[in-house]
Structure 1
Amino acid sequence: MVDALPLRIFLASPGDLVDERAAVQACVDEYNARRSAESVVTYDVVGWERVRGTARRPQEAINELISESHFLVALFKGSWGSEPGSPWGYTSGTEEELFTGLLELGMAEQPMRDVWVAFLDHPSPAERIVGLRRQLSRDHAMMYEAIADIRELKQKLTERLEGWEALAGSKVHRHVNLLSSTGKEVLRAASLRLRGEKLVELGQPDAGREALSEAAVLGGPREHLAYARFLGHHGELTKAHAFTQRAIDHFASGASDLYSPLAAEAFAAQARILRRQGRDVDAIGRLEHALTLLGEREDVDAQEVRCRILDDLGLAHQKTGHLASARRDFEAALKPRRESRPGLEVCQSLVNLARLEVRAGNLETAAAYADEVVTTLRGTPPTTLHANAEVLVAQVRLRQGRPVEGLPHAERALSLNQQIASRHGEAISRLLLAQCCRAAGKDGDAADHARACLEMNKSMGDEVGIGRAQWILDQLAE
């Protein structure tokens, strides 16, 4: 289905292409007028001019505009452009804009559909322009064109606009490997991160770990946090904490904007590790600090991060016995989720509220929440949320005195956690299976699951988990 609003084209160029920028705008305006009677597809050219004054690094605000765009056109002629103060190894604002567009092109959930680079004829282009053109010519010839003059620029752009109409209603994400002008492999790091996450999702944790580890070496905070998530799921909490700290240090040093969703994510990720280590009070402090980094921002990205932080804050308050605060946090996350786009994120809120109802003894309400979540998630790709929902249903059934009905849900939780390589989740599922089997009179199966849970928690150094598994074994022995 075609977007109702115009498709955005972000126009990137150094400062020596004033006439060419005007030509691009005129070409798009002419195309829209000519096609208005035949097509519902229109284009809107945006650039750095659309960005208002900001206390942040200006390029950060420009990059956010690129993340909302469907296409990117980059123009180069004689000048490479000025240094943007980038932490990623970019030596001009236009280079950073181009690479930001290429990163967006590789992410399935982002609107970016295509990137086109035009090199306009110049007797002595900057050396870095020559290097970029050489890379594209060798590896990605379809992404660029050599342009003689403004007339040819308008002709070639018109051909692109015609071709882009076919991409208006869909996206095929593509990974492009280019080196930045300083040799940093930013795009390769992002590609490895996405590949590693997909491999883990497909039940290939060893291959996924290898890709995520390499991405963390090459990349920045996103890659550090992705690897930290994997390590946390695998029970390697000390190492996971270290990688979240690397991400935090990046923002604390001023390399990127501290008051941003990604910086808030870094603090929240460390809080999750602290909670796993039993340091819930420390985690609450990190999470409250993370919320301050978002300020009053109401864009979609900030809103999603804020809701995830409120989830974690509610869980930490629940663990420390502050149930009224926990309910406030969970409901604060649920409200915008219901208003924006009901779906998986709403399910996370319902799982959290259901756990509160379990703790309050309202098992029927908790069961209704849990059943709604499991039904909604069925048929969608497996995630930690799916496993948590199955665990929740099994726990509710167990507390209702219906352990046999809880067993299939606990078994599904175990299978899901094994598929997504969450050893922590697998240990929880094993413990739950042991509890359900014991309550159902299947002592042999209960002992097997409890022993497996014990060994997993020993390997992860989880003292609480060790104690719970050993308690079941002791009860069975008596």
Structure 2
Amino acid sequence: MVEALPLRIFLASPGDMENERAAVRACVDEHNARHDGEDGVMFEVVGWDRVRGTVRRAQEAINDLIAESHFMITLFKDAWGSAPGSPWGYTSGTEEEFFTALLELGQAEQPMRDLWVGFVKGSEPDARILRLRQHIIDGHSVMLESITDLRDLKEKLTQRLESWHDLVDTKIPRHVDLVPSSGKDVLRAANLRLRGEKLIDLGQPDAGRASLKEAAVLGGPIEKLAYAKVLRRAGDLNAAYTQTQKAIDYFTDGGTLYSTLAADAFSAQARVLNDQGRERDAIGRLEHALTLAIGDDANAQAIRCRIQDDLGLAYQKVDDLANAQRSFEAALSVRQKVGRDVDVAQSLINLARLLIAADDLESAADYAEEVVATLRATPPSGLHANSEVLAAQVRLRQGRPDEGVPHVERALAINRQLANRRGEAISLLLLAQCHRAAGRLDDAEDIAMECIAVNEAMGDANGAAKAQWILDHLADHPPVS
């Protein structure tokens, strides 16, 4: 029988609380001993000391550990702590850890289930501690305890551990209204971003876009990049570029340049440049972005793979297929080692498009079938749409346009659900091509005209011209028998 892994409790506290940290660990050990063998539920205490040396901002590595934790204990007494150099303006590492856990608490897919905050009686507590305590009391934000001494700490924590024992299989996302010492409404901005992204996933693009716009006003680089993404999908490339530049400005004006978030900002701007037809500029931006995502942690690897994807696509657009293949294969190699099927599927889509360009349609079809089958059991996403477009393109090139129609229709439905206007335009163009090749000229004409309207709304003259070509050559292509 394989034993269950212990549930992680992240312990956040400033440096003046060594005795309290020892008391917490002893209390958790006693709880585990008391319940040993009952139901397999065990707790382990983790903290900054579990983080290895890193070339990143140290607090980012600590935050990664919080993202893997199920509960948090936060303790304050007299000291507030030192500033961690955060892009959100946190004035102590403990404060950033606390607010990071609150963000995790609001995300359904993250393991964080509950937080417990203890204010230990001290001799002269920092004024920021007193303000935080009062804000929590006023807003009834999270569970708070006033603690007189170590014995009191252990008694109250013992009760909390017993209640956490019942939350093992339960995660109820909770959004907390609390403002950090910087005055930046970090939690509201993050929650607006999460809400906007979820609304778009649920097929409510207007409401989702409004939430993301407000998140970008209140928040930092992450919120601005999320809003830029939806603007780019809607074809508003100038506004998307502006948002990516606002995110970049944070890093060029003194933020941590060598970080995955900085790399993400530069690569997001490169995607906009690529859509604007400035492929050479995009390639240069992406090559530099690769140098910023340093480190071998999972997040850095994922960012570098995405940049390699974008590089390959940009190289492909300028007909540099050798460098395109090099970039795609670099990303695939990393993803295969990690073993995430969804990420591998992205690499297979990219390589299949190179095979189409090389007229190796049989191999491209094999890749397409593998990707569609892999993604079938996962929620719809832009990747699903891309896989369906790929499958339709292969069948069209193989002279089987009727078989391509169901694939491209699914891609069109997904892109509309995600409010991806550029993806919608691509799907419409491909659908018109399939109907034209199959001899259904009336259908091809109607869909091509719809494609022109979408492209004109986005200001994409090149996309509109491709659809117009179909209208001008409707009868040129003999139907497939």
| TM-score interval, smaller chain | over 0.9
Distance 1:437 1:85 in 2: 57
Q: Structure 1 residue 284 and structure 2 residue 280: aligned?
A: no
Tell me which of 405, 408, 413 is aligned to 2:406. Answer: 408
**Maintained 8 Å contact 2:441/2:475:** no
Letter in 1 for 2:214: E
TM-superposed deviation, 1:87: 3.3
Structure 1 stretch displaced more, 346-355 or 225-234: 346-355
1:149-179 Cα deviation digits (max 9, x unpaired): 2112111212222332333455333221211
Aligned to 1:260: 259
TM-superposed deviation, 1:39: 4.4
**Maintained 8 Å contact 1:3/1:168:** no
Are residues 451 and 475 of structure 1, via their aligned partners in 2, closer, same or farther at CA, if it must alter by over 3 Å?
same
Are residues 33 and 343 of structure 1, via their aligned partners in 2, closer, same or farther at CA, if it must alter by over 3 Å?
same
Aligned residues: 476
TM (norm. structure 1) is 0.94
1:198-242 Cα deviation digits (max 9, x unpaired): 001111010001000000000011101100100000000111011
Letter in 2 for 1:388: N
1:227-286 Cα deviation digits (max 9, x unpaired): 01000000001110111111112122222x222222111111111111111111211111
Distance 2:177 2:77 in 1: 23
Tell me which of 448, 455, 458 is aligned to 1:457. Answer: 455
Are residues 324 and 165 of structure 1, via their aligned partners in 2, closer, same or farther at CA, if it must alter by over 3 Å?
farther
Letter in 2 for 1:337: R
Are residues 347 and 418 of structure 1, via their aligned partners in 2, closer, same or farther at CA, if it must alter by over 3 Å?
same
- The equivalences for 1:233-382 within 5 A come to 233-255=233-255, 257-295=256-294, 297-382=295-380
Aligned to 2:417: 419
Are residues 47 and 192 of structure 1, via their aligned partners in 2, closer, same or farther at CA, if it must alter by over 3 Å?
same
Aligned to 1:434: 432
Q: Structure 1 residue 31 and structure 2 residue 27: aligned?
A: no
Q: What is the DSSP-based 3-state SS (H/G/I as helix, E as strand, rest coil) of the residue aligned with 1:174?
A: coil
1:434-462 Cα deviation digits (max 9, x unpaired): 11111111111111111111121122121
1:83-106 Cα deviation digits (max 9, x unpaired): 333332322222111111111222
Aligned to 2:479: none
Q: Give unpaired runs (5+ residues) of structure 1.
A: none
Distance 1:57 1:419 in 2: 37
Distance 1:93 1:431 in 2: 51
Distance 2:299 2:8 in 1: 18
Q: Structure 1 residue 44 and structure 2 residue 55: aligned?
A: no
Aligned to 1:143: 143
TM-superposed deviation, 1:138: 3.1
TM-superposed deviation, 1:63: 2.6
Letter in 1 for 2:353: R
- The equivalences for 1:154-233 within 5 A come to 154-169=154-169, 171-233=171-233
Distance 1:12 1:25 in 2: 12
Are residues 288 and 248 of structure 1, via their aligned partners in 2, closer, same or farther at CA, if it must alter by over 3 Å?
same
Distance 2:230 2:194 in 1: 13
RMSD: 2.2
**Maintained 8 Å contact 2:431/2:444:** yes
Letter in 1 for 2:276: Q
TM (norm. structure 2) is 0.93
**Maintained 8 Å contact 1:430/1:453:** yes
Q: What is the DSSP-based 3-state SS (H/G/I as helix, E as strand, rest coil) of the residue aligned with 1:450?
A: helix
TM-superposed deviation, 1:72: 1.6
Distance 1:381 1:223 in 2: 23
Q: What is the DSSP-based 3-state SS (H/G/I as helix, E as strand, rest coil) of the residue aligned with 2:83?
A: coil
Q: What is the DSSP-based 3-state SS (H/G/I as helix, E as strand, rest coil) of the residue aligned with 1:72?
A: strand
TM-superposed deviation, 1:416: 1.0
Q: Give unpaired runs (5+ residues) of structure 2.
A: 477-481
